[in-house]
Amino acid sequence: MLECPINKTERKTMMYLIIKEIDYENMDNTYRVMDYTSDVDKANDMLQGYNLIEKEDNVFYTIVKYEQSGKPLILTKEMEVA
């Protein structure tokens, strides 16, 4: 069996973020990270729990997969908004 060596300087960390979105009628929606984990099964359990206890119709929860590399993202050119 062939094995690829892992470059220890560029380890990637996978996280699952539980995001709470509040949908407002007269202003922009708000977003908040409610919790996080590196275990996808635990993230799904958390999502079900948040959805179960939420009583408001304008509040939504979702899972966002977040992968952090060891290097920060540096923008070198300003981006235009279309």
For residue 49, tell me if it sits in a domain. Answer: yes
For residue 76, tell me if it sits in a domain. Answer: no
For residue 81, tell me if it sits in a domain. Answer: no
For residue 46, tell me if it sits in a domain. Answer: yes
Kind and range of the H or E element at 55?
none
For residue 17, tell me if it sits in a domain. Answer: yes
Contact 66, 12 (CB under 8 A): no
State the pTM of this model: 0.68
pLDDT confidence of residue 75 = 73
pLDDT along the chain (82 residues), means of 10: 48 87 96 96 97 97 87 69 56
Give the other-Cβ count within 10 Å of 26's Cβ: 4
Q: Which domain holds residue 38?
A: 13-68
Tally of domains in the chain = 1
Contact 20, 27 (CB under 8 A): no
Output the six-digit token pair for 45: 């359990």
